[in-house]
Chain A
């Protein structure tokens, strides 16, 4: 057993030494605004994007509120203070003028970048039937399958485009789930967001394909402030995928996105994320700071929102995809796998706010810590006074690999209704010697055995991912933990 432990720690070391496969930097001539944040910056961003007046006002309100806030310190995260004046708040690839209509018009360098990532845009789009709204830095450069979606009446594209074409929808829904005053990072995002995705599914339409966006940070020193808004009108359904990778850079880069989901009566949104931003090197230097506010509002009766996330990247992850179960009989779920290795830190979880009657929610969270990684689950289940017969089941399990890492669980349960049933359970352990023995005895190498056990540990979450993503997630897991504990 002692020898096993030492081999495991050897493997941890070897994983640590594995270089980040997606780390490269494409020198593209960026139209970057000098670093700094003041009112001017906001006027500038708004003017560059030719935004209507209401949006400018909205941004300014957010900015004024942000000035009164201090960064949150309650999360179990250790980080150097961020200088918000050192960040450039606007960056767009040069070729944005006259926006490309087809892939041929897209900057070839950009396409090359995607190629390296193994996401050949056109092929992937064609083969998988996925409409990709690729966000490179802050401006969308290519959108496929647009026509097909348009035929169904679905609006899907970049946020800035939607601001021009459907300002009424933006005005009606923007900030109604995550208000500008919600928290430090959401306020910042509201003030300076440059682009993102917008999606509207009309009444009784079932979106014919999985929608997906690939985010990618490229230009150095540019915080990326994405804003995503998805509205599923009555009786509609959409499955949305989001995946991230980032090139290797040495400075910490801030990513403060906001995602808002709205489901009206009988509608359903499935939102899946694979997050694989650059996690920093084995000394914990560099890496992305990921401060994300994600929230879904089940506004109508019988509506559903489901969050699935696989978090393997980022130096710091601060992310709590939440559901407000306002409509009667609405359903919220949260499936998460979070991996922290080297000096990565993750403080992630969810909030399930039960307001409507007969609402139910499920939380399945799996945390894996290796190296010096710190992994926290922080979740809230709140059953309001009027939420009769609400039901919640939460399970959060942690797997520890190595004696320098940590796994923490902070579940908050607040129940105000006596017909509610709330259950929470959590376990923390390492891979059991018996499990290892069983696999090894049947001829599996130590590495295969661990990978098998880890994949089994995460299976409940992977099963929730759409097929293409599930495969990618397993691959990602194997890469992240190759030698890791693994």
Chain B
């Protein structure tokens, strides 16, 4: 059991870290990796708005916060507690993490272990580190930003999935991350590593929920590698508590003709950052990034979606929509980067925002950088309100104002949920959206 240590991130010392029992402490390459990453963190710290990828982002609250290293969960989490993460009508292989550690009792690892290799990353680091040596921290560079370096230095647990060649996983694998901490602000550095072999196929769902109403910080780094012809669908629902910080990086490396899709919904957290970076490193890759964010009150929701076309014939799509109310702030940054030899690349980017309150703010930067000539690239971004005429149409038919607004907002967002191929997940997303809209409106009324 680790000593209870509290620190502001920028005052964190090596000594404090050395008192932590982190998995893989006896393996030289892991300790070297952690050391190097911590040195990087020491020199860079958390990103500031001067860093272009973090412009508009205000991390002061996160930086001021004193965080405690996690201890063992105090509350025994039951089936009932994970209820909010359960997706109706969808059969899944369930894996549950409670306060950053795998909970075997609630998870169904055995059911699926016969087909694929799946283990907690902590176990993997302790018992069989050499298997992941060629992959860990090879896709997500620790130097990318302070959060990734801190994650690499302090990672404790997460999921490791290795899909063997030609394996098709019959049901989605759902990873439920539930936080229970009370009182003390705690941080969790979760690390996931997903390796998909040639021709393999799987769907992975990440759900973030919380029983806590205190401050906590989930710092997640997920590395994905797709071999030739592999197909991975990634779904994410972020419903963290209102005081939570959530910073997630999803880094994907795609090999020839592989297909990746991401469908993410961000509803919770005081501050959330969802960063997806995909590298199409061989010919004929496809990458679809689809997302919806909703922010109300004083929430800050921050999205970065970047696709690097490194080889020819790649296709990428970025579709993001946002609904911003209250005093919230939404930030979107899309980047399509076509490298010199990536001829015949086809990149499309779209970001639409509904700004529903006079105190809210939207900052968007859809960016194209193109170094090849035979390409088809476009982007579009809008910030606007509900259509007056549509509103009038509905109201003239006797629909009250709130309902009419909700209806239009809902149909605005539906374009994103309509793109989700997994029908039960799409329905679940729509139901959540309805709840969020209703919640936001009631708050407005109270004011």
Known contacts A425-B378, A426-B380, A429-B376; is-contact A410 B385 (Cβ 8 Å): no
B8 at the interface (CB under 8 A from A): no
Using an 8 Å CB-CB cutoff, how does the interface string of A181-197 with B read, 1 for contact, 0 for none?
00000000000000000
Partner of A406 from B353, B370, B381, B383 at Cβ < 8 Å: B370
Partner of A422 from B356, B367, B368, B384 at Cβ < 8 Å: B384
Partner of B355 from A398, A409, A411, A418 at Cβ < 8 Å: A418
Q: In the complex, what's the smallest C-beta–C-beta distance from B439 to chain A, in angstroms?
A: 19
Using an 8 Å CB-CB cutoff, how does the interface string of A129-144 with B read, 1 for contact, 0 for none?
0000000000000000
Known contacts A413-B363, A418-B385; is-contact A426 B368 (Cβ 8 Å): yes
Using an 8 Å CB-CB cutoff, how does the interface string of A393-435 with B read, 1 for contact, 0 for none?
0000010111111111111111111111111111111100000
Chain A residues with CB under 8 Å of B358's CB are 385, 417-419
B343 at the interface (CB under 8 A from A): yes
Chain A residues with CB under 8 Å of B371's CB are 405-406
Chain A residues with CB under 8 Å of B56's CB are 414
B44 at the interface (CB under 8 A from A): no
Partner of B378 from A404, A406, A426 at Cβ < 8 Å: A426
Known contacts A403-B340, A415-B355, A428-B370; is-contact A410 B383 (Cβ 8 Å): no
A54 at the interface (CB under 8 A from B): no
Using an 8 Å CB-CB cutoff, how does the interface string of B342-360 with A read, 1 for contact, 0 for none?
0100000000010111101
What's the Cα separation between A313 and B53 when bound, in Å? 31
Chain A residues with CB under 8 Å of B375's CB are 400, 428-430
Known contacts A403-B340, A407-B370, A408-B369; is-contact A429 B377 (Cβ 8 Å): yes
Check A406 against B357 for contact (C-beta < 8 Å).
no
Give the bracket for the number of chain A residues in contact with chain B. 35 or more
Q: In the complex, what's the smallest C-beta–C-beta distance from A3 to chain B, in angstroms?
A: 15
Q: In the complex, what's the smallest C-beta–C-beta distance from A348 to chain B, in angstroms?
A: 15
Chain B residues with CB under 8 Å of A409's CB are 366-369, 379
What's the Cα separation between A417 and B359 when bound, in Å? 7
Q: Tell me which residues from 91 to 144 in chain A have a Cβ below 8 Å from any Cβ of chain B.
A: none
CB-nearest residue of chain A to B362: A415
Q: Which secondary structure dominates where chain B touches chain A?
A: strand
CB-nearest residue of chain B to A413: B364
What's the Cα separation between A426 and B347 when bound, in Å? 12
Check A411 against B365 for contact (C-beta < 8 Å).
yes
What's the Cα separation between A137 and B94 when bound, in Å? 75
Known contacts A403-B343, A428-B375; is-contact A422 B361 (Cβ 8 Å): no
B63 at the interface (CB under 8 A from A): no
What's the Cα separation between A410 and B377 when bound, in Å? 14
CB-nearest residue of chain B to A417: B358
B372 at the interface (CB under 8 A from A): yes
What's the Cα separation between A419 and B385 when bound, in Å? 7
Quick one: which of A383, A418, A426 has the most chain B CB within 10 A? Answer: A418
Check B381 against A413 for contact (C-beta < 8 Å).
yes
CB-nearest residue of chain A to B347: A428
Chain B residues with CB under 8 Å of A74's CB are 52
Partner of A403 from B361, B372, B383 at Cβ < 8 Å: B372
What's the Cα separation between A428 and B358 when bound, in Å? 34
Check B362 against A413 for contact (C-beta < 8 Å).
yes
Q: In the complex, what's the smallest C-beta–C-beta distance from A385 to chain B, in angstroms?
A: 8
Chain A residues with CB under 8 Å of B353's CB are 415
Partner of B373 from A385, A401, A416, A427 at Cβ < 8 Å: A401
Chain A residues with CB under 8 Å of B357's CB are 418
What's the Cα separation between A398 and B373 when bound, in Å? 10
CB-nearest residue of chain A to B333: A412
Check B384 against A421 for contact (C-beta < 8 Å).
yes
Chain A residues with CB under 8 Å of B377's CB are 427-429
CB-nearest residue of chain B to A391: B384
Quick one: which of A406, A424, A426, A428 has the most chain B CB within 10 A? Answer: A428
Q: In the complex, what's the smallest C-beta–C-beta distance from A433 to chain B, in angstroms?
A: 10
Check A413 against B365 for contact (C-beta < 8 Å).
yes
Q: In the complex, what's the smallest C-beta–C-beta distance from A358 to chain B, in angstroms?
A: 15
Check A424 against B378 for contact (C-beta < 8 Å).
no
What's the Cα separation between A335 and B109 when bound, in Å? 60
Check B361 against A425 for contact (C-beta < 8 Å).
no
What's the Cα separation between A415 and B324 when bound, in Å? 11
Chain B residues with CB under 8 Å of A424's CB are 366, 379-382
CB-nearest residue of chain B to A485: B373
Known contacts A403-B374, A415-B363; is-contact A425 B385 (Cβ 8 Å): no
Chain A residues with CB under 8 Å of B376's CB are 428-429
CB-nearest residue of chain B to A383: B383
CB-nearest residue of chain B to A5: B374
Check B363 against A414 for contact (C-beta < 8 Å).
yes
What's the Cα separation between A297 and B356 when bound, in Å? 30
What's the Cα separation between A428 and B367 when bound, in Å? 11
Q: In the complex, what's the smallest C-beta–C-beta distance from B380 to chain A, in angstroms?
A: 4
Check B373 against A400 for contact (C-beta < 8 Å).
yes
Check B385 against A430 for contact (C-beta < 8 Å).
no
Chain B residues with CB under 8 Å of A426's CB are 366, 368, 378-380
Q: In the complex, what's the smallest C-beta–C-beta distance from B349 to chain A, in angstroms?
A: 9
Check A418 against B373 for contact (C-beta < 8 Å).
no
What's the Cα separation between A400 and B373 when bound, in Å? 5
Check A425 against B363 for contact (C-beta < 8 Å).
no
What's the Cα separation between A78 and B368 when bound, in Å? 18
Check B370 against A400 for contact (C-beta < 8 Å).
yes
What's the Cα separation between A464 and B381 when bound, in Å? 25
Q: In the complex, what's the smallest C-beta–C-beta distance from B381 to chain A, in angstroms?
A: 4
What's the Cα separation between A421 and B357 when bound, in Å? 13
Q: In the complex, what's the smallest C-beta–C-beta distance from B1 to chain A, in angstroms?
A: 48
Check A420 against B355 for contact (C-beta < 8 Å).
yes
Check B365 against A410 for contact (C-beta < 8 Å).
yes
Check B382 against A406 for contact (C-beta < 8 Å).
no
Quick one: which of A400, A403, A415 has the most chain B CB within 10 A? Answer: A415
Check B385 against A421 for contact (C-beta < 8 Å).
yes
Chain A residues with CB under 8 Å of B378's CB are 425-428
Closest 9 CB pairs of A and B: A400-B373, A428-B377, A425-B380, A409-B368, A422-B383, A427-B378, A415-B383, A406-B371, A408-B369
18 A-B pairs besides A400-B375, A410-B365 with CB distance below 8 A are: A383-B383, A385-B358, A400-B372, A401-B373, A403-B372, A406-B370, A409-B367, A412-B363, A414-B361, A414-B362, A414-B363, A415-B355, A415-B362, A416-B361, A417-B355, A420-B383, A424-B381, A426-B378
Query: Can you list 10 A-B pairs with a CB-CB distance of less than 8 A?
Result: A403-B343, A403-B372, A406-B371, A409-B369, A415-B355, A420-B384, A421-B382, A421-B384, A426-B380, A429-B376
- Footprint of B on A, CB under 8 Å? 74, 383, 385, 398, 400-430
